[in-house]
Structure 1
């Protein structure tokens, strides 16, 4: 491949790095891929740039792109609430919701129907069929209080 097509090689490297980011996310390869894409643009504009100059410029672009990510993008991503803070903590998602007891709460322990399953609950003694509201969670046991249905 002649020197005139060197920019294509950089763009292929960029695509491979960015594709690698899709397969193994972590933001690292993405920014190096962006640096490789920038090198493709440089090589399109300056096709006679020598290998040493390319290597130095690529290293510089990589440093700058990673610095931009680390200094500006990463802090913003950390501040953006995803709304999924409790995604893997299902019990916490149940706080404030109401359910029906399928096993009476006796001596502080019972079971409530949650969706198509049952959860252990702790709270005041209540009969089967009573409506309870989840006030908290202890591991996999829901803390509940009685709710007057009226």
Structure 2
């Protein structure tokens, strides 16, 4: 009787150990096996007379299912979030295609535009202050613009 009552606790302890291993050595894999162990513990709680062999088989199946869920559903969603266009740390390049207002007229090819709460040097055709410009390229910290 004691072994069957406490069996679900054993599965939950295994789940916690596996998740702790995941915390120490991250990689998502042990987390999902730990989820399989926790689900097995829940199943054993609902069906306390389940033989040990059946528990082990259920654990293996649930571990494979949870890993498959990670591999085919969660992982692709995470990879979409991680993908970027390579401009993460290149702030000026992120501004290409954006439209901004000139706060200083472009005279002799040089001026300033308001970008967010800051100012950026711009180069392009002579335009009066207040004109809207579109960023077409970047040269160092200078935005190359055209009239929008």
TM over 0.5: yes
Distance 1:24 1:131 in 2: 54
Indicate whether 1:40 and 2:45 are aligned: no
TM-score (norm 2): 0.61
Partner of 2:103: 101
Partner of 1:63: 64
**What is the CA RMSD across the aligned residues, in angstroms?**
4.1
TM-score (norm 1): 0.60
Aligned-residue offset at 1:31: 2.0
Distance 1:22 1:141 in 2: 44
Would you say how many aligned residue pairs link Structure 1 and Structure 2?
140
Native 8 Å contact 1:7 1:47 kept in 2:
no
Distance 1:23 1:100 in 2: 51
- What does 1:5-24 correspond to in 2, within 5 Å? 5-14=6-15
List alignment gaps of at least 5 residues for structure 1. none
Distance 1:41 1:71 in 2: 24
List alignment gaps of at least 5 residues for structure 2. none
Aligned-residue offset at 1:79: 9.1
Distance 2:26 2:144 in 1: 38
Distance 1:135 1:21 in 2: 45
Q: Secondary structure at the match of 2:145?
A: strand
